[in-house]
Structure 1
């Protein structure tokens, strides 16, 4: 049971969030949901003790409320930040397991909000960097440093093409090189799980994009070949 006297929100209040939770538990109150959203997750992606204290109650509502599922997922996607609430996050371990199972069931239903739920699940799986940047591969760009010559390489994956390039702000993406997608059998770890989940749920475009994201790119400057996800991962994985 949360000690709400210590669970302040983004305004420093300790009494407002439990009142709002009671309102949304009684009925689907849009005004209360809106206020909960900005009290629990500040616009600059900050979360607070009240955010994690509210998580069990949000997850208990999430099977029947898209607002609850979305807010719980947003809190989880900010859990890698410097919030000073690691002890509260640890106390939510059972709730996070429950939320993972709920999200997985939701994804299996192939919902309209598939990508959002997929990103929430990535955060639950502690893949915070992918949760923050993964798109639907219609218009995705990733910036990575070549591990050999350190030049910044633009990786494009989408309807416009699959290539590495040097981005020139006057000329656009120049000296393009085709990406080399990973085979399904060649994927491992997070990439394999992401790909298998997307395929299971009939998300073919997402699954195809993941093979490129976890595939290889050629540096346009020095012609060395590197694994895209490894370089992005090493540069962006949060320190836990």
Structure 2
């Protein structure tokens, strides 16, 4: 049983979240959802004890509510942050397991908002850096350091091309990225690719093949794996 009188939200209030949850449970109230959003996920990616206390109730609504799926996903995308709520997150284990099943069924239905539940599923699988990095591959830009010469390299994957980029003075130098073949993918990349192929998400699947493929550093011509360098720089340290 949640004692809401002792659980503060992102605005340091203890009374509003349970009231708002009751409103969205009784009816699909857009204003209540809007307020819940900024009480449970604050700007700068902050969450609060109330965020995790509310998670099981959001998951129970997630089968029929896009707002619940989205908000639950946003909370979990920030679960690796310094929120000081590890005990409450641990208490959500059953709800997170249920959320995984809800998301998988929803993704199989190929919804128009596919990227939102896909990112939520990545967070459920504790792939927090990918949950926060994927933008749909229309014009994704990531920054990594070349593991050989240390120069900052911009990785672009999208409608305008798939390439690595550095600037030498005023001159732009590009090199085409090298996508990885599906049968060579392993681990998280393989899982991400298989899910998106299963669900007919060609743009995402193609982007993932570049994300987990090879890049040439335009500065020193060395070859490295894009995902490895991004992961090493961005994977949060789980407590």
- For the aligned pair, the TM-score class normalised by the smaller chain equals over 0.9
TM-score, scaled relative to structure 2:
0.97
Which residue number in structure 2 is paired with residue 206 of structure 1?
204
Deviation string 1:158-217 (CA, Å, 9 cap, x unpaired) is: 11111111046955xx22111111110111111000000000000011101101100001
Aligned equivalents of 1:216 and 1:144: distance in 2?
13
Which residue number in structure 2 is paired with residue 191 of structure 1?
189
Deviation string 1:81-127 (CA, Å, 9 cap, x unpaired) is: 10000110011000001001100110000000001111111111111
Aligned equivalents of 1:66 and 1:167: distance in 2?
42
Aligned equivalents of 2:31 and 2:153: distance in 1?
45
Unaligned 5+ runs, structure 2: none
Aligned equivalents of 1:27 and 1:163: distance in 2?
47
Q: Per the alignment, in what secondary structure is the counterpart of residue 51 of structure 1?
A: helix
Aligned equivalents of 2:31 and 2:177: distance in 1?
47
Aligned equivalents of 1:103 and 1:58: distance in 2?
13
Deviation at 1:5, TM superposition (A): 2.0
Aligned equivalents of 2:153 and 2:137: distance in 1?
18
Which residue number in structure 2 is paired with residue 111 of structure 1?
111
Aligned equivalents of 2:122 and 2:84: distance in 1?
22
Deviation at 1:2, TM superposition (A): 1.5
The answer to whether the Cα contact below 8 Å between 1:198 and 1:207 also exists between their aligned partners in 2 is yes
Deviation string 1:119-158 (CA, Å, 9 cap, x unpaired) is: 1111111111111111211111111100010000111111
Runs ≥4 in structure 1, deviation > 2 angstroms? 167-171
> In structure 2, do the counterparts of structure 1 residues 52 and 140 end up closer, same or farther at CA, with 3 Å as the change threshold?
same
> In structure 2, do the counterparts of structure 1 residues 167 and 86 end up closer, same or farther at CA, with 3 Å as the change threshold?
farther
Aligned equivalents of 1:158 and 1:22: distance in 2?
42
TM-score, scaled relative to structure 1:
0.96
What root-mean-square deviation, in Å, do the aligned CA atoms of Structure 1 and Structure 2 show?
1.2
Work out the number of aligned pairs and report it.
Answer: 238
1:36 and 2:42 equivalent? Answer: no
